[in-house]
Structure 1
Amino acid sequence: MHTLITHLRHVDIAMPNFAEQRQFYTETWGLTETANDAEVSFLAAEGSPEQYVVRLRADAEKRTDLLAFGAATAADVDTLTARLIAQGVRLVHEPKPLDTPGGGYAVRFFDNEGRVVEVSADVTPRRHRRIEAREPVPVRLSHVLMNSPTPEATVAWYIRNLGFRLSDTMCLGSSREIMWFLRCNNFHHSFGIVRGPHAAFHHASFEMRGIDEYMRGTGRMRRLGIERLWGPGRHRAGDNSFSYYLDRAGNTVEYTTELEILDEDTWHPHLYDLRDPANADQWGTADEMNEFIAAKSHNDIDRGLFVAPPL
C-alpha cells in the first residue's frame, strides 16, 4: 500500500507531576518551550521545523495522549480517513482544522489497542536553526516505540492501515520475536512495537547533531546526576547510538544519532538475535540488556487506551 504518512511529528504525554516533568524536558533534556499555560506545555527541538515534538499535559493519571504523524496534503488526510473508515477503524474525530500551535488539518483515530493517533497536514513550519558543533541539544524527534501484549497484530495493523514498512526485527532465539522497527520514509525507523506485558509507552528518541554532540549530551546528563538507564552504545538495527534515561514520570527517553538511512529499492528486513550481545550494542560499551532495564522500559499500564485526550 502506498503510504500517505510522511514523517513523525510529536508525542504527547500526560502525568500528575507536570511542573517537574516540564522542568526536566526544558532545563535538563534540552527542548525549547514554545507555548504553555498552567497545565499544558508545547516543546520544540531547536533543529526541527515541527512546531513541537513533545506535548506535556497535567492529568491525575499518567498516560500517552497522542502519537502524531504528518501527511503531505489535506487531500491525503481525507484519503487516509476514507481508508480507515473502510477498514472499520474507530475515529476520534473526522478531519478538521487544528487549534494547536501551527494549526493544520488532521484526523484522529484509535489504533487496534486503543492508542490515539493523529495524522495532520498543512501545519505551519516553525522557524528553526542549525544546531552548532558541540551543542548537546536535540535536533529532532527521531522515533517512538510502544509496548504491546499483541505485537504481531499491532505491527500488522500499522502496516495495513497506515502503510508503514518493516525495516528489521529483533528476536530472542528462533521462536520469539520481540521488537519490530517500522518506517514511513527512508529513516530506518520512525515507529516501532515491542513485545511487553501491556500496552504502554516504551521510549521516545531524540536525534543529536552527531557523535560528539551525542556524547556531550550523555555527559551533561551524568554531570547533572541523571541516572543512565542503558548506554552509551550503538544498536545493530538502525545502526544508531543510544543513551537511555527515565523522565520524571518514568517514561524512557533516548539520545541518539546517525540513524541509518535506507535505500527503499534494495533494503530487505533482517532478523537479529539478541542472544548475540553485538546485536544490542555493536560497540560493547553499554552494560548488557537485563531484566531491570526491560522492566523500566515496559512502563506502567497506559491509562489512556480508547479514551480521547481532552485536547
Structure 2
Amino acid sequence: MQEIAKLGYVGVQSPAYEQWRTWAPEAFGCMLGPDGDDGAVRIKIDDADYRLSIHPGDEHRLAYVGWEVLSHRDLDTLVTRLDKAGANPQVAGRELADSRGVLDLVTFQDCFGQPYEAFCYQASGYKDWDPPRPHQGFVTGDQGLGHVVFVVPDARKAVDWHIDVLGFRPSDIIKLREPLGDMWFLRANPRHHSVAFLEIPELLGLHHVYLECNSLDDVGYSYYDVLGGDQNPDMLMKLGRHIGDQTVSYYIRTPAGFFIEYGWDGLAIPETEARSPRFIDVRKGKRPEMWGHEFTMQPNETVRPYKR
C-alpha cells in the first residue's frame, strides 16, 4: 500500500532565484548542483544532483514537491491508486523527466490541488559531496530530503488523503492555541516526519523545508557566526529543541519567501517499533518545545504561508 519511500526534492519559483547561488552555500554550507534548463539554481546536499530547485519567476510560488518511490513497478502501482483517488496523475514525457534529473516521473495533485510529483531513479552523477566550507554533511539516504510542512485550511482532510492515497503513517498530533488549529506529522520512513500540516482557516501553501545536519556544530556555526543569530531580521524562530521530533534547530526566511528549518538530531522511529501517534495539547499548558524556539516575528507573519 505504501509506495512513497521518502521526500526527494522541492521546486519553487522566485524573482530572487539568483541570490541562492551565494546565499545557500554561505548560510548552510550547501553545494550548487547543475543549473536547470531554465537557469534554475539547484542546491545539492548529498549524492543526488540536487534537492532544492529555485526557478526564475515573477513571484514566489511553489512549483512542485517530488516524492521518491524505489522502482518503476512501485510507480505504476501508485499511478493506479492516484487515478482512483482523482489526483489526475500524468506520466511525464522524456523532456520533463530529464529536466528533473530522473528516469521516470508522474505529476499529480494533492487534495488541495498542490503540485506533487512521484519519481524513481534520480540522477547522482554531477559531483561528489564537496561543501564550500568545512561541513559534516546532511542526513538523507533512506530518510530522503528532510521534511516539508504546509499550511492548510483543513488538517484532517490533508492527513486522511495522505494516509489513504500515499500511505503515510501519523507520528504526532499537536493541538495548538488559536488562531492555529491542529498540526499533524506524517512519516514514510524512520524519519519522524516527511510531511506535516498546520491548520490555519482559509490559508494554503508551503511553509518550510527542513535540512538536517550530521553535526550540531554546523547548526551552531550557521546560526551564530554566519546568520547573526537572534539579531537576523529574517529569523522566524530562535535556536531551540522540539518535544515532538526532538530536533535542535532554527527557522529562517529564505530569499524565495518560504522558510528553512536548519537542524540536527531529529528523532528516527524504527519501522519495527509499534508507536501510536502522540497527542500534545498545547492549549492546556503542554510545551511544544523542550527549550528555546522563541518566535521573533509577529503572529500573522509566523503563519503566513508561501503562495502555491
Interval of TM-score (by shorter of Structure 1 and Structure 2): 0.7 to 0.9
C-alpha contact 1:235 1:280 (8 A) present in aligned 2: yes
Q: State TM-score, norm by structure 2.
A: 0.86
Alignment of 1:43-122 (within 5 A): 43-45=43-45, 48-91=46-89, 93-94=90-91, 96-97=93-94, 98-100=97-99, 102-122=101-121
C-alpha contact 2:29 2:133 (8 A) present in aligned 1: no
Alpha-carbon distance in 1 for matches of 2:88, 2:79: 10
| Paired residues, number | 296
Unaligned runs of 5+ in 1: 303-311
Alpha-carbon distance in 1 for matches of 2:285, 2:257: 26
1:242-281 deviations in Å (ceiling 9; x for gaps)? 2010011321111111111113332111011224776322
Identical positions, percent: 22
C-alpha contact 1:31 1:138 (8 A) present in aligned 2: no
Q: Secondary structure at the match of 1:188?
A: coil
Alpha-carbon distance in 1 for matches of 2:161, 2:153: 14
State the Cα distance separating 1:113 from its structure 2 match.
0.8
State the AA in 1 paired with 2:110: D
Alpha-carbon distance in 1 for matches of 2:134, 2:286: 28
The ranges of structure 1 where at least 4 consecutive aligned residues each deviate by more than 6 angstroms after the TM superposition are 130-134
State the Cα distance separating 1:28 from its structure 2 match.
2.7
Q: State TM-score, norm by structure 1.
A: 0.85
Correspondence for 1:239: 246
Correspondence for 1:258: 265
State the AA in 1 paired with 2:81: R
Alpha-carbon distance in 2 for matches of 1:103, 1:87: 25
State the AA in 2 paired with 1:16: P
Cα RMSD after superposing both structures: 2.9
Alignment of 1:1-311 (within 5 A): 2-36=1-35, 39-45=39-45, 48-91=46-89, 93-94=90-91, 96-97=93-94, 98-100=97-99, 102-126=101-125, 128-129=128-129, 135=135, 138-140=138-140, 141-172=145-176, 177-196=181-200, 197-223=202-228, 226-227=232-233, 228-264=235-271, 265-275=273-283, 279-283=287-291, 285-287=292-294, 289=295, 292=298, 295-302=301-308
Q: Secondary structure at the match of 1:122?
A: strand
Unaligned runs of 5+ in 2: none
State the Cα distance separating 1:135 from its structure 2 match.
2.4
